[in-house]
Chain A
Amino acid sequence: MSALLELENISKFYGNIIALTGVTTSVNAGEVTCVLGDNGAGKSTFIKIIAGAHQQSEGTLRVEGDEVMFDSPRDALALGIATVYQDLAVVPLMSVWRNFFLGAEPTRGWGPFQRLDQAKASSIAREEMAKMGIDIRDTEQAVGTLSGGERQSVAIARAAYFGAKVLILDEPTSALGVKQSGVVLRYILEARNRGLGVIFITHNPNHAWPVGDRFLILNRGRSMGNFAKEEITRDELIMMMAGGAELEELTKELEMAAATGTADPSLKELAEEFAEEYEELEERTEHD
């Protein structure tokens, strides 16, 4: 069986700027593929290509074995690829059920007398949210009054309900606290258990590791590797992700700045922290 979504040597150029080059990975049904990278690593370009907002300059994109080229997000959506953007996911002033069915409202009646089937929409929204483990008491509640994690989950539940096969989650945990992040990670697993292929984009390896089945690491537009979970350890992942060499460099810079004495004393503390973290990383990598 071919993978739900396969990317082979995908590259994207904006004029002479190379935003992404030679990226290969795949997403299977019931699996989570994590895309890791720091700011500017090319994660947004990566999403935009899969979501259909941009087209790749080189390489092939296959959906269930068929080669495709998306013209618009609508094309991607039609093939079951749904994207949940971190800050664009919902309309905060609208109620939960309106948000849930936005763009695909169920209606009753005929012709000009078509009206929203509010009761149905409300009960489905409540049920689907319950499947995600969220008990919405009042679906009339404005989404803006939900917590950050719950807001993401409205968007995730919605995508799953409307038959998404591949769910792209753009930094769903980045603006959330520890507990809320945990909640969102659980929704990711829920979605996976329901047979969706999930692409989870994050810069936090600690969030990626517990849920991921496959890891794609991006750095400065380049793929640093595409690993199945068996092929890599948690610490290697963190090491690669943080870019060990870069961390060392940063530590030195900070130390120098602290040594000049004119700098903020907190810089020194920061440098020490970085040094410690670097040592720790090295140690662990050796163990493995």
Chain B
Amino acid sequence: MTTATLEPAEAAPAADERLAYRGPIQRLLIRPEIGALIGAAVIWAFFWAVTDVFGTTAGVNNYLDVSATLGIMSVAVALLMIGGEFDLSSGAITGATGMLVVLLVKEVGEFGGAGFPATVAIPLTLAFALGIGWANGTLVEKTALPSFIVTLGTFFILRGAKLGFAKLFTDKVIVEGLDDAPDHGFWENIFGAVWVRNDHVWDSFLGGRNVVYGVLVTVGVSLLAVGILELLFRRRATPSSSGLTVALVGAVGAYGGLIALTTTDGAGQNWLWGTVMAVGACVLLYGLAAWRYEPLPAVGGAFHLQDHVGRNVALGLGAIVLGVALGLVLDAESQTELGFLLTVQGFRAIAYTGLVITGLILLLLAARTAGKASPLTQLAITTLAAVSVVAVAFIVQSQSESRKFRAEFFAVIVGVAVVLFMIGVLRARFVERRTPDAASDRLGRVIALAGITITFVGIAIRLLFATTVENETIPGEVRWRVSVLYFLLFAVIGSYMLLRTKFGSWTFAVGGNKDASRQVGVPAARTKTILFMIVSAAGWLVGMLIAFRLNSVQANVGDGQEFFYIIAAVVGGNLLTGGYGSVLGAAIGAIIMAMSFQGIPFAGWNSDWRFLFVGAILLLAVLVNNYVRAKAEAAS
């Protein structure tokens, strides 16, 4: 018999030829939260377009406020879910801790009160919550029963206890009077603090809020674009100074156009400055690329339109033209019922956006298919798509009564066209990087992240500070609650913990393959128990937030919410079976849920429809996540 003699010294297999290079962008696309991020953007745009309040600070405040308590919980639930378990008592614990703290601070003698100061009652409540989490975790670990059943039991125990004790002590289904505590004021600053936006006017310092906001967002978006370029293209040996000059000229055009655009409002002026800005941005990006990245000798391939590509192009253009025609023919203001639920106005909006987006997708698909044979054709079709987008932008602008559509929407659509067009041009003109380059990857990532951070700081400034004009013209107060801050903190700390600490690694491991992780020395039981305790601690925090907000807690607070936490986590790309997922995704999932909950009544629809909407989002999210992951894994 012949067995090849095994030579250990034999050359190691060279770089695995089956492993294709996966660019940073592609790697970003397989992140679990990416589906949720896209979904959030689409839903935001949808409600922004159909309601007046949604895009204002008041609207943002409204849905972020709802998302805060939901999000704190869904972040914790996502961690537990990645660890491979569920906690159905996570909703009930929020109400239970809230009730408990009220009962503990009430005066002795008065219905079951314990008369503790809040300083004692609050840590006691936390200990209670941690105890519940510990019990859940230990029971699940010791009995090896599914956490589904164990925590279902805990859920009913808590639910019954809440109702039973509330009735026993107060004869009502609500416990009231948290503000009886002598030290209530101190703790209210922690759990019930409020930032009244209208009290914080920023008019003059550093040119006022609007200038700071505008500068930060512009700088942020520009940095993001530069970072993406760095990630995508291959550096050239010697930078080209003429490219830099072109970039500078483009920058002057882009920023000049932008400043002029923001300081003028009038349908006649916007298109001029909009065009200057768009062309300037294109020149800027091209110049930057020419300065730093290696050019292709020429746009490859003769112009060649395959049959099916041609058909897609025709269909796409047809859809866009049809959409625009519908938009022109139908009356944008008409409230006439068209039948089932839809007014003429609503039908117009849906048909218009739906057809235009479908058309655009068809065009882009055609461009992609064509690009395999001829980059030149791809470039031509991409340009066509960009031109159609700009045309739609102008039609929207000429038709609109509201400033929202005339200026802001116009700028966004033109921006989309610029991005589309420039992606096509740059990919056809410059060499894309096909090999990892640690230095470039790091630089690009740092720049892009800095860009995103700066953009968000700009948006936050706009949300937190009012201007005198706003205070005078817009009625009502915007009150930012501290819960939003806790939500942000929770999402950031949770994400850091999951991705950057030992415990995070263990969480992935016990959810992905418990036996293997135990085998290599991961304390699996302890990890899971701590995860259960994190969930109940989050429940405690939410309980405190609710109690200090209302000074009273109803017995049914939180019951049934656990499903929304799980839905938010799943929408955020967390795998139901554990071992895979993202905390940031769950946070975004919570924001998606809150946007849909609040957007539906804003839009004037009966809020009974919201569950239908949430169900549809859940299904869609699961399908998209599935698809994206399969696609991403197939690509590797």
Contacts and interface: CB of A to CB of B under 8 A. Distances in A.
Nearest to B519: A88
A123 B3 CA distance: 35
A115 interface: yes
Nearest to B521: A103
A85 B1 CA distance: 29
B391 to A, nearest CB: 42
A242 interface: no
A115 B636 contact: no
Given A92-B512, A118-B500, A104 B521 contact: yes
Main secondary structure of the interface of B (DSSP, over half): loop
A107 B516 CA distance: 21
A61 to B, nearest CB: 20
B536 to A, nearest CB: 20
Interface in B513-548: 513, 515-517, 519-522
Interface stretch (B13-21, B320-328, B338-346, B559-567): B13-21
Most B CB atoms within 10 A — which of A102, A190, A234? A102
B1 A102 contact: no
A116 B502 contact: yes
B6 interface: yes
B19 A103 contact: no
Contacts of A85: 516, 519
B508 A88 contact: no
A137 B505 contact: no
B502 A210 contact: no
Interface stretch (A128-136, A195-203, A218-226, A245-253): A128-136
Nearest to A97: B505
A134 B22 contact: no
Nearest to B30: A142
A145 B636 contact: yes
A89 B516 CA distance: 6
A94 B83 CA distance: 13
Interface string B419-452: 0000000000000000010000000000000000
B10 A186 contact: yes
Contact of A93 (B22, B500, B579): B579
A43 interface: no
A206 interface: yes
B5 interface: yes
Contacts of B516: 85, 88-91
Contact of B508 (A93, A103, A193): A93
A209 B3 contact: yes
Contacts of A83: 519
B47 to A, nearest CB: 34
Nearest to B504: A116
A193 B522 CA distance: 29
Interface residues of B, number: 39
Given A98-B508, A114-B501, A189-B6, A91 B517 contact: yes
Contacts of B505: 94, 98, 101-102, 105, 116
Contact of B16 (A101, A137, A142, A189): A137
Given A74-B521, A115-B501, A94 B508 contact: yes
Given A77-B521, A91-B513, A115-B500, A137 B3 contact: no
B487 interface: no
B79 to A, nearest CB: 15
A50 to B, nearest CB: 14
B580 interface: yes
A29 interface: no
Contact of A103 (B10, B496, B517): B517
Interface in A200-214: 206, 209-211
Contacts of A59: none
B502 A105 contact: yes
A264 B237 CA distance: 71
B633 interface: yes
8 contacts: A85-B516, A90-B513, A93-B580, A94-B512, A94-B579, A185-B6, A210-B5, A210-B6
- Nearest first, the 10 A-B pairs at minimum CB distance are A133-B12, A103-B521, A91-B512, A103-B520, A91-B513, A189-B8, A93-B579, A105-B502, A115-B500, A103-B522
Given A102-B517, A142-B633, 8 more contacts: A88-B513, A92-B513, A103-B517, A105-B502, A115-B496, A134-B13, A141-B636, A210-B5
Interface of B: 1, 3-6, 8, 10, 12-16, 19, 22, 27, 436, 496, 500-502, 504-506, 508-509, 512-513, 515-517, 519-522, 575, 579-580, 633, 636
Interface of A: 73-74, 77, 83, 85, 88-94, 98, 101-105, 107, 114-116, 118, 130, 133-135, 137-138, 140-142, 145, 158, 182, 185-186, 189-190, 193, 206, 209-211, 234
